[in-house]
Every structure is written in structure tokens, then in C-alpha cells.
């Protein structure tokens, strides 16, 4: 496991952590679901459990996607870019990926100079998270 982790270049410095970018994609449709950060510990936990685990720069702690909402991401494939500082995860998304209740965090589309929401909410974030996000 250490050899795998050593290949990743955690060169982004934020919130006192050394981070890499994690791009998350639906393994069936190839739709990009979200982008987040991972530190070494988050990547190790993800690889060990096959559940996506990230590092929250705002909360300064690890978080397992779905631990509050139940909308887990199960890892199907992992790729590393040529610089070693970005990871691509192909996942089975169970429920919505976005904390706003949409399947993808990329639910806003620029059309004729305006952001338009695409898709329907899968859940009400207020009911799932309350004031916590």
C-alpha cells in the first residue's frame, strides 16, 4: 500500500495539509460527479475500504462520502494522471453526489450567459443535513 501512496504527488498545500485532486466520475455513464481533495490518509482509507473518503479543507478532517446522507460512492477504478497530483475515481454512485441534492455537483449549465440548473433534486438537503454541510 505504501508504494501505491508514494506514487501520488500531494503537492497542493491547503489548510495545513498536502493534498491531491480527486475527480469522481460515474463508472457507467462517465458523468463527472464531483471534484474534491484527498490527503494521504484519505487515499489510504479509500483504497482500503473502496468507499470514497476525502479531506475537507473547511472542516479540516476526513469525511466518507455518504456518512451523513447515505449516498455512498463505491470505487470501481482508480487512475493517476501523468504528474501524479490528480486522481480519477470511477465509482458506483448510490444516490446523489451533490450536497445540494443533485446527482452531480455539476448541475449548473451556462446557457446564453446564465447559469441554468439541469436535473431534478434527488433529496432535500435541509432534511438530510439540517444546518450542517
Q: What is the mean pLDDT of each run of 10 residues along the chain (133 residues)?
A: 92 93 98 98 98 95 95 98 97 96 97 96 92 60
Domain boundaries along the sequence of the chain? 2-97
Q: Are 106 and 32 in contact (CB under 8 A)?
A: yes
Per-residue pLDDT at 131: 65
pTM of the model: 0.92
DSSP helix/strand/coil, 98: coil
Q: Which of 128, 73, 74, 72 is nearest to 100 (CA)?
A: 128
According to the model, what pLDDT value does residue 132 have? Answer: 61
Topology adopted by domain 2-97: Ubiquitin-like (UB roll) (3.10.20)
CB 113 within 8 A of CB 121: no
pLDDT for 91: 98
pLDDT attached to residue 133: 54
What kind and span of H or E run contains 31? Answer: none
What is the per-residue burial (b if ≥16 Cβ within 10 Å, else e) of 64-91? bbbeebebbbebeebeeeeeeebbebbb
Amino acid at each position: 500500500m505504501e508504494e501505491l501512496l508514494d506514487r501520488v504527488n500531494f503537492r497542493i498545500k491547503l489548510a495545513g495539509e498536502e493534498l491531491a485532486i480527486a475527480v469522481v466520475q460515474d463508472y457507467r455513464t462517465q458523468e463527472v460527479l464531483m471534484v474534491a481533495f484527498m490527503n494521504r490518509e484519505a487515499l489510504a482509507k479509500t483504497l482500503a475500504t473502496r468507499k470514497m473518503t476525502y479531506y475537507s479543507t473547511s472542516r479540516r478532517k476526513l469525511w466518507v462520502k455518504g456518512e451523513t446522507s447515505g449516498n455512498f460512492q463505491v470505487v470501481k477504478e482508480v487512475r493517476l494522471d501523468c504528474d501524479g497530483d490528480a486522481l480519477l475515481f470511477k465509482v458506483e454512485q448510490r444516490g446523489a453526489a451533490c450536497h445540494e441534492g443533485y446527482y452531480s455537483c455539476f448541475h449548473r449549465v451556462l446557457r446564453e450567459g446564465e447559469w441554468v440548473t439541469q436535473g431534478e433534486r434527488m433529496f432535500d438537503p435541509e432534511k438530510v443535513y439540517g444546518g450542517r454541510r
